Structure 1
Amino acid sequence: MPRFSIILPCYNAEATLADTLRSLVAQTCGDWEALVIDDGSTDGTAALIAEAAEDDARIRLVTHDGKGPSAARNAGAAAARGEILAFLDADDLWRPEKLTCMTRLFSDPEVGATYARIAFFDGTRARSVSAPVDGDLTLPMLLGENPVCTLSNLTVRRDVFMATGGFDETLVQNEDLDWLIRTVGDGHRVAGINRVLVDYRTSVSGLSSDLAALREGRRAALQSAARYGFDVRPWEEAIYLRYLARRALRIGAPPSEALSLALKGCLQSPRGWFSDMRRGALTLAGALAAPMLPDALRRSLFAC
């Protein structure tokens, strides 16, 4: 039985999947299986997975019926044989030491899940990194800007994942936030390591560009938090609005939308909006200047 089961959902991912699989095969810890789940692709994704499986017996092609990434991840977890599940998106990359570092964290039997820092890259180079990891996750940490950032940064014991009921398959966005809130709320320890281990590919067309779905997913996650007695505070909401404003600037949403989000966040809580002074000031300035900024410059400034 492998130590790790990698759950890798794919949909029309032939442009990036080969690089993602190479980063997996390059891991310094080789005790893994990979369930690469083709979720109804119409391009060359399935053929690419089949070719990779011929080259490496640890890789398995799993076909799914196109119900979306949360359902695909849950199906992968159900079929996994490993003690620990590690999620990886088809356009992200892992640093070679990712699984080795996770092995060290899971040597503590009290740890139920783990995360690290991530680098934001545009497909060519990393442009910035996420904030330093500050210990174990707490519910208040999750109500602002989710420090895990991406499911490619999440590793969890299989029995813990099954005990939570997995991801909410009705959510298109923020299903990871909802799951983390439920997991931490149920008392499972989610430990962090202050090291960059994931390269997260920024995209103007990915699921994380759907602002409406992000808001809907967050509403569901906040309902989960409320069941544990936690309500979002103004400064936490301001941090999230800052995140949405940056998304709006990066994907080229109407300038009025970015400006509305920025002004609402600043008015809701200056403390929260400027909790990261550089990010808060840059986002506000960008929202004000959005109509005059060239697309390439705007996307570069707000790539994360």
Structure 2
Amino acid sequence: MPPGDGAEPSDAAGPRPRIAVVVPAYNVERFVAATLHSVIDQTVTDWECIVVDDGSTDGTAAAAAEVIRQEPRMRLVRQPNRGLSGARNAGLRELSPSVEYVAFLDSDDTWCPTALADLVGALQCCPEAVGAWGWAELMDERGEPLLPGFHPERQRDRRGLSGWRLRTVAPDEPLSFGEVVVAGPIWPPAVGLHRRSAVAAVGSFDESLQQLEDWDFYTRMTRHGRYVPVLGQVAWYRQHPGQMTRRTVEFVCNLDRVRRKTWASPDNSPSQRTASLRAWRQLQFRRSLRTGERLARAVAGRRWAEVTPLALGTAVLAGQLVAGRPPRTTPRQVRWTQRTV
């Protein structure tokens, strides 16, 4: 049948991709080749990989292009710097029509060879799930294992809501909205695989967030269904000084922004709105208590330079708790956060 008459594309170009891997890359010249080779080494082969160079100023694009030249399932997209969310969104716009599952692999992390096979298998066994996730072990800048078992233990230490209280969640329980609004175990993003239909339903990553954009994404995803766990390692999570999560003040401010956004969203069901408020109150109380304990220690130790900002922080946190809802993040809040974190 000639082209244009409804013929299927030729298999000569390779199988249609069922899985899309989006790799946002910014100034990771040292690491991106290892990341891409971990995709090539997957035991499943029906994937495509979109590498988005987000305005890198080093040799990231050249290092990625060197790998991509040898691999027709990969392609490189270049754009001015728009941040991690903007890079992921650019990758999402490039997905082939045949893609059923989407993965986000940061360009300094790597996969175990069976990662995609394990995650796809879990999703196929649970058709109602919106995604699946597994565990990650830490590695250092050279790719050597770091603190074996530490990160999976943190992922297994799960808490969810039970009424107004927090409950322990077993590692083999699916991940629901009532757990994600407390704290989710899907990190780094390399450990997750997401059903494309659910990704399309929740829309793009929030480009106004400089951190925790993935947590915001998972919260929106779990409004539509649950994630199923894979009880084993699927990824390596690289630790190095340039990581965004090391910016503590920005992290705390974005944490507050996401909690406010989650609570205020019109997409919540009544029970989801209640759950997001209960989770915030539980965690705000603990945060206020910790700041108050630091204030008491500063007073006892006569560290007067610390007393004023900690007293202000304790008062602000307690006032927010009394107000009964997640606060808006304002310039004033950012200033006191800088002095108390």
**Scaled by the length of structure 1, what TM-score is found?**
0.74
Matching residue of 2:145: 125
For residues 105 and 111 of structure 1, the distance between their equivalents in structure 2, rounded to whole angstroms, comes to 9
- The structure with the larger Rg is 2
Match of 1:193 among 203, 219, 230: 230
2:243 matched to 1:206?
yes
Match of 1:139 among 177, 192, 195: 177
CA RMSD, 1 decimal: 2.4
**Scaled by the length of structure 2, what TM-score is found?**
0.67
Instruction: State whether residues 176 and 225 of structure 2, in contact with CA within 8 Å, keep that contact through their aligned partners in structure 1.
Output: no
| C-alpha spacing 1:95/1:240, structure 2 compared with 1 (3 Å) | farther
Q: Secondary structure at the match of 2:222?
A: helix
* 2:228 alignment partner AA: A
- TM-aligned CA deviation for residue 35 of structure 1: 0.3
What is the CA deviation profile of residues 247-290 of structure 1, one whole-angstrom value per residue up to 9, with x for unaligned ones? xxxxxxxxx8xxx7xx98xxx9xxxxxxxxxxxxxxxxxxxxxx
Matching residue of 1:115: 133
Match of 1:96 among 113, 128, 133: 113
175-184 vs 89-98, which moves further: 175-184
What is the CA deviation profile of residues 186-245 of structure 1, one whole-angstrom value per residue up to 9, with x for unaligned ones? x2222221111111112233111111221222122212331431212555457889xxxx
2:73 matched to 1:58?
yes
| C-alpha spacing 1:238/1:198, structure 2 compared with 1 (3 Å) | farther
**Runs of 4+ in structure 1 displaced over 4 angstroms?**
237-241
Q: Secondary structure at the match of 2:119?
A: helix
Gaps of 5+ in 1: 242-255, 269-304
Matching residue of 1:287: none
* 2:211 alignment partner AA: Q
Matched-pair identity in %: 29
Q: Secondary structure at the match of 2:200?
A: helix
Match of 2:100 among 66, 71, 83: 83
Matching residue of 2:201: 163
For residues 116 and 224 of structure 1, the distance between their equivalents in structure 2, rounded to whole angstroms, comes to 27
| C-alpha spacing 1:112/1:240, structure 2 compared with 1 (3 Å) | farther
Q: What does 1:244-255 align with in structure 2 at a 5 Å threshold?
A: none
Matching residue of 2:217: 179
- TM-aligned CA deviation for residue 168 of structure 1: 0.4
Instruction: State whether residues 123 and 228 of structure 2, in contact with CA within 8 Å, keep that contact through their aligned partners in structure 1.
Output: no
What is the CA deviation profile of residues 75-127 of structure 1, one whole-angstrom value per residue up to 9, with x for unaligned ones? 10111112211100010011111000112122132121111111122231131
- TM-aligned CA deviation for residue 151 of structure 1: 1.4
User: How many residues in Structure 1 have an aligned counterpart in Structure 2?
Assistant: 247
- TM-aligned CA deviation for residue 59 of structure 1: 1.1
For residues 103 and 134 of structure 1, the distance between their equivalents in structure 2, rounded to whole angstroms, comes to 17
For residues 92 and 213 of structure 1, the distance between their equivalents in structure 2, rounded to whole angstroms, comes to 22
Q: Secondary structure at the match of 1:38?
A: strand
What is the CA deviation profile of residues 129-156 of structure 1, one whole-angstrom value per residue up to 9, with x for unaligned ones? 3233342212332233321122122211
* 2:195 alignment partner AA: R
| C-alpha spacing 1:236/1:203, structure 2 compared with 1 (3 Å) | farther
Instruction: State whether residues 112 and 156 of structure 1, in contact with CA within 8 Å, keep that contact through their aligned partners in structure 2.
Output: yes
138-147 vs 20-29, which moves further: 138-147
* 1:33 alignment partner AA: E
Instruction: State whether residues 129 and 196 of structure 1, in contact with CA within 8 Å, keep that contact through their aligned partners in structure 2.
Output: no
Instruction: State whether residues 5 and 34 of structure 1, in contact with CA within 8 Å, keep that contact through their aligned partners in structure 2.
Output: yes
Gaps of 5+ in 2: 1-15, 157-170, 289-305, 319-341
Matching residue of 2:13: none
